[in-house]
Amino acid sequence: MNKLLRLAGASAIATLVTSTVSVSVVGAQDSFEGKTIRVLIGFGAGGGYDRYGRQVARHIGKHLPGKPAVVAVNMPGAGGMKLVNYLYNVAPKNGTSFGTFARGAPLFAFAEGAKAIRFDPLKLTRIGTSSSYKGEAYMFAIRKETGVTSFRDMQKTGRQVNFAATGAGSDGHDVPLVLRSVFNINAQVVRGYPGGNTLYLAVDRGEMDARMVGYASVKTARPGWLEKGSPVNFVMQFATKTRLPEFPNVPTAQELVKNDEDRALINMLETPFFMARPFAGPPNIPATRVKILRDAFMATHEDADYKKEAKKLRLLVSAASGAEVQKLVENLAKTPKKLFDRYAAILANPKSILRKVNWIQVSGVVTKTGKKGRFSFKIDGKGKAHKARMRGRYTKVKVAG
């Protein structure tokens, strides 16, 4: 009897040891120790996607097994589509590369908006979204110099209003096109700006009349637009069912639309905003790593340091899980074909024009540097010193090679 008990005990210990070793091996396989995680950003530095992307990159590493190094990499182009195509077709499928890109990418793909689409939105690995658009709205901002103080003014004005945009497939390009169709406004979209920061500059300088922009982005990148003396008026709130308390006199698109057919189109276009700052990886990442990435993503948004920094940067955070984002994409895919066809027809003939830039290139010597990106330089190292300032926290400047 004692011999049997000893044998049973030895068997149990062997089983326990074997089980422990098995768990350890699996853990090692899924660890990111010694690896570098790339958080790719589908737009240039300084805009809303860049801010949210870098915020995640700064904090997610400590929530991943192995505490890997994490770097943020900008990959702008084609309104964010360049990055999605890269993730789908080129990026490694091991969880070391994922990114954030235009929330409208699934809608653009389902509507067959361009031949440049080389991905299936349903097969991307959805990691989550930093914003589900709670307390948010996509604002129609227009320069006060246009004389437009309300959306009704916009419908009446005889002059053409030019919207600054990055590229086809981005919300800043496609939403004004739909508004032009639904509300019959005299609007033109000028595409070709590299990122959100340049869209702000285009409006600030009077180069463009208007742009569509998220309230959270304005709070972080252009708080002056929300203050007395702002150069812009906000005349519509998009992607919100009710008016934000901060804009009690600015109507929503839902309030302004007149018929059910147009309302259905607006509803379809607003759906991607509920995954406003999406993060996704390539298809076919192993299931265990998908879970690790999703769990780390959500833990990052609950991190006290993340929250503290987000508040300091005025980022509106309302994270949703990868599973929730996947469900939104699946529901979007079920949209009636006639709505996709109407949207595709609008995109097929956008009549948007490409921005033209006459670049002037100078070389010089930096003679003095100061705080907040300020510096002085002399052209060819001679003559009067010119003062300048780098704007955007992540601007890279090459000096003397």
What six digits make up the tokens of 8?
């049973």
Q: Does 78 have pLDDT greater than 90?
A: no
Rounded Cα gap, residues 42 and 304, in angstroms:
27
SS3 355: coil
Half-sphere exposure of 36 (CA within 13 A, CB side): 5
Q: Does 79 have pLDDT greater than 70?
A: yes
The DSSP call for residue 275 is G
Half-sphere exposure of 43 (CA within 13 A, CB side): 30
**Residue 211 is which amino acid?**
R
Rounded Cα gap, residues 367 and 355, in angstroms:
34
For residue 360, report the phi and psi dihedrals to the nearest 5 degrees: -115, 120
Q: Does 11 have pLDDT greater than 80?
A: no
State what percent of residues in the chain have pLDDT above 90: 67
Rounded Cα gap, residues 173 and 352, in angstroms:
8
With cut-offs at 50, 70 and 90, classify the pLDDT of residue 392. low
Rounded to the nearest angstrom, the gap between the alpha carbon of residue 183 and the centroid of all alpha carbons in its chain is: 26
Give residue 347's pLDDT: 85
The DSSP call for residue 242 is S
SS3 176: helix
- Residue (of 169, 153, 359) closest to 256 by Cα position: 153
Lowest mean pLDDT among 85-89, 102-106, 223-227: 102-106
Q: Does 380 have pLDDT greater than 80?
A: no
Rounded Cα gap, residues 183 and 262, in angstroms:
9
What six digits make up the tokens of 119?
């991905």
What six digits make up the tokens of 366?
């930096």
Lowest mean pLDDT among 191-195, 268-272, 350-354, 372-376: 372-376
Give residue 36's pLDDT: 97
Residue with tokens 């009704």: 152
Residue with tokens 């000028």: 190
With cut-offs at 50, 70 and 90, classify the pLDDT of residue 363. confident
Q: Does 219 have pLDDT greater than 50?
A: yes
Contact present, 42 and 85 (Cβ < 8 Å): no
